[in-house]
């Protein structure tokens, strides 16, 4: 909740100036990374067990590790929860970026991209595939 209040304080000073090519490129990178994370999380929801056939005896399950996502969708979300979360996340990220002034927008979009690339890289390292 504190993070939301801090974010809203930045938004209040914003004036929704037009986007330049860097804003658009950063937004494209952020959305691309979010979509890859989304497809990986869908894979984990459909295939919850890393090294076995699944079921209740799964010795090594995948689980949601992102602190914000885990709070909203839980450690073992359904595909529906995953879809609703990531659609809302991507839309909210773009709306917030649009409300920010250009310097804050670039920083916000770059930060979002870096964080998402971290999650995507971690998922690839542990063997998570992408699934639509």
Q: What is the pTM of this model?
A: 0.80
3-class secondary-structure state, position 51: coil
Query: For residue 112, is it within any domain?
Result: yes
Q: What is the mean pLDDT of residues 95-119?
A: 97
- Per-residue pLDDT band at 102 (split at 50, 70, 90): very high
pLDDT score, position 87:
96
pLDDT score, position 68:
85
Nearest CA among 35, 38, 106 for reference residue 77: 38
Query: For residue 11, is it within any domain?
Result: no
Query: For residue 46, is it within any domain?
Result: yes
pLDDT score, position 99:
95
Q: Residue 104 sits in which domain range?
A: 20-125
- Number of domains the chain is built from: 1
Query: For residue 6, is it within any domain?
Result: no
Mean pLDDT of the chain: 86
Please tell me which residue, 49 or 110, carries the higher pLDDT value.
Answer: 110
Query: For residue 130, is it within any domain?
Result: no
Query: For residue 9, is it within any domain?
Result: no
pLDDT tens, position by position, 5-54: 555 555 555 456 899 999 999 999 999 999 999 999 999 999 887 765 55
Centroid of chain to Cα 100: 19
Dihedral Cα 75, 80, 82, 83, nearest 10 deg = 180
Query: For residue 8, is it within any domain?
Result: no
pLDDT score, position 33:
98
pLDDT score, position 29:
98
Please tell me which residue, 76 or 114, carries the higher pLDDT value.
Answer: 114
User: From CA 109, how far away is CA 62, in angstroms rounded?
Assistant: 28
User: Rounded to whole angstroms, what are the CA distances from 63 to 96, 126, 128?
Assistant: 28, 11, 11
Eight-class DSSP state of 56 = T
| φ and ψ at residue 106, rounded to 5 degrees | -60, -45
pLDDT tens, position by position, 54-88: 555 677 778 788 888 888 898 889 999 999 999 99
Query: For residue 60, is it within any domain?
Result: yes
């Amino acid at each position: 909740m504190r993070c939301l209040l801090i974010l809203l304080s930045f938004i209040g000073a914003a004036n929704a100036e037009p986007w330049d090519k860097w804003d658009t490129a950063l937004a494209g990178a952020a959305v691309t990374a979010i979509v890859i994370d989304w497809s990986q999380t869908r894979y984990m929801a459909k295939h919850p067990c890393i090294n076995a056939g699944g079921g209740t005896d799964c010795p090594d399950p995948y689980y949601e590790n992102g602190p914000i996502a885990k709070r909203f969708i839980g450690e073992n979300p359904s595909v529906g929860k995953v879809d609703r979360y990531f659609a809302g996340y991507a839309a909210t990220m773009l709306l917030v970026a649009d409300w920010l002034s250009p310097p804050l927008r670039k920083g916000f979009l770059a930060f979002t991209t870096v964080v998402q690339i971290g999650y995507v890289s971690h998922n690839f390292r542990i063997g998570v595939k992408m699934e639509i």
